[in-house]
């Protein structure tokens, strides 16, 4: 049709207005606050003060990277095994995988904490079999465990999605051409699921590097990550430094996502849709 109806012409208007006001404008405000002082004067002070936070950035990146790698190592086989099940069973497993994703992060982290805590079930079980209490909460391991526990499904789902798209004939062809199970996995499955891996990495890395609740609860206050710093700055109404840190983190994430997407030739391969 050449003529556009009223509806066609204006259907996008509410969304466009909303996006400009509440998506684009807030991002501009981050930039604005990052480069101004309390009185609204232009300054580089916030950005230059970021050097004080270098070790926080380093720690956060390290934690997030470790958590992402563990998620990948645990999640990839899981996705592969699920994808080889019967379709009806696959559906159930995926539902089981998605259920925790829908439970508030708060509740999941909180429940993990109570399980691991000094007076928690794990330690009382250990006591029962004669071990001493193990201090878990408050260690770096607990924080990373929390990230893995909270975000593992985000790794498995996209990888599973790209695996389930693989044609069964690929496996048959690979076997026909002399691949055993392991070789098939390495030479056929792995290359074809790269898009899923990439989007899984993104989906675990981004929330891991920006979390503050996990480090607060499971780190017992002994680890300060970027998320904690931002949260504290904003809660203390120190918007300008907080904005500067957020801006840098956002840019860091954007760059790493862009770099990773370069690896994925087909960005549709494993995109997670809820």
- Min dist. Cβ of residue 159 to another protein (A): 13
Range 9-48, binding another protein (CB under 8 A): 10-16, 18-19, 22-27, 29-30, 32-33
- Counting beta carbons within 10 angstroms of the beta carbon of residue 137, is it exposed (0 to 12), middle (13 to 18) or buried (19 or more)? buried
The CA distance from 120 to 218, in Å, is 13
Query: By C-beta, is 197 or 209 nearer to another protein?
Result: 209
- 235: nearest Cα among 209, 258, 251, 212: 212
Q: Is 74 in the site for another protein (CB under 8 A)?
A: yes
Range 122-161, binding another protein (CB under 8 A): 123-124, 149, 152-153
Range 206-265, binding another protein (CB under 8 A): 206-207, 209-213, 217, 227, 230-231, 234, 239, 242-243, 246, 249-250, 253, 257
**Lookup: tokens for 268:** 């549709």
Of 41-49, 54-62, 78-86, 191-199, the window that binds another protein (rule: CB under 8 A) is: 78-86
- Min dist. Cβ of residue 165 to another protein (A): 16
Q: Helix, strand, coil % (nearest 5) of the chain?
A: 75, 0, 25
Query: By C-beta, is 98 or 173 nearer to another protein?
Result: 98
Of 41-49, 119-127, 132-140, 164-172, the window that binds another protein (rule: CB under 8 A) is: 119-127
**Lookup: tokens for 102:** 């829908």
- Min dist. Cβ of residue 45 to another protein (A): 17
**What does residue 37 show for φ and ψ, rounded to 5 degrees?**
-100, -175
Sign of CA dihedral 41, 45, 47, 53: negative
Applying CB under 8 A, the site for another protein has a residue count of 84
Q: Find how far residue 62's CA is from the centre of its chain.
A: 14
Among 37, 44, 81, 131, binds another protein (CB under 8 A): 81
The CA distance from 119 to 249, in Å, is 36
CB atoms within 10 A of CB 35: 18
Q: Is 107 in the site for another protein (CB under 8 A)?
A: yes
Query: By C-beta, is 15 or 169 nearer to another protein?
Result: 15
Q: CA–CA distance from 6 to each of 20, 79, 137 (Å)?
A: 22, 47, 59
Of 70-78, 135-143, 171-179, 190-198, the window that binds another protein (rule: CB under 8 A) is: 70-78
Among 78, 137, 204, 241, binds another protein (CB under 8 A): 78
- Min dist. Cβ of residue 212 to another protein (A): 7
Among 46, 108, 264, 270, binds another protein (CB under 8 A): 108
The CA distance from 119 to 97, in Å, is 29
- Min dist. Cβ of residue 7 to another protein (A): 5
The CA distance from 163 to 106, in Å, is 30
């Amino acid at each position: 049709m050449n003529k556009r109806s009223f509806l066609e012409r204006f259907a996008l208007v509410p969304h466009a207005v909303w996006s400009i006001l509440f998506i684009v404008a807030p991002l501009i405000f981050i930039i604005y606050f990052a480069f101004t002082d309390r009185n609204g004067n232009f300054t580089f002070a916030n950005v230059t003060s970021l050097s004080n936070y270098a070790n926080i950035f380093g720690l956060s990146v390290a934690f997030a990277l470790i958590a992402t790698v563990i998620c990948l190592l645990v999640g990839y086989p899981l996705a592969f095994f699920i994808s080889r099940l019967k379709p009806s069973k696959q559906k159930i497993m995926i539902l089981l995988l998605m259920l925790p994703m829908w439970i508030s992060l708060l509740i999941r982290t909180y429940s993990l904490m109570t399980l691991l805590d000094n007076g928690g079930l794990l330690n009382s079980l250990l006591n029962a079999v004669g071990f001493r209490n193990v201090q878990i909460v408050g260690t770096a391991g607990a924080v990373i465990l929390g990230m893995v526990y909270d975000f593992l499904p985000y790794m498995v789902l996209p990888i599973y999605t790209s695996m389930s798209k693989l044609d069964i004939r690929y496996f048959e062809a690979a076997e026909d051409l002399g691949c055993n199970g392991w070789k098939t996995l390495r030479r056929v499955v792995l290359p074809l699921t790269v898009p899923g891996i990439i989007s899984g990495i993104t989906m675990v890395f981004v929330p891991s590097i920006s979390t503050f609740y996990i480090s607060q609860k499971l780190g017992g206050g002994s680890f300060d990550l970027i998320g904690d710093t931002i949260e504290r700055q904003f809660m203390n109404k120190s918007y300008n430094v907080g904005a500067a840190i957020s801006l840098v983190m956002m840019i860091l994430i954007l760059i790493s996502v862009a770099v990773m997407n370069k690896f994925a030739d087909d960005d549709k391969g494993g995109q997670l849709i809820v």
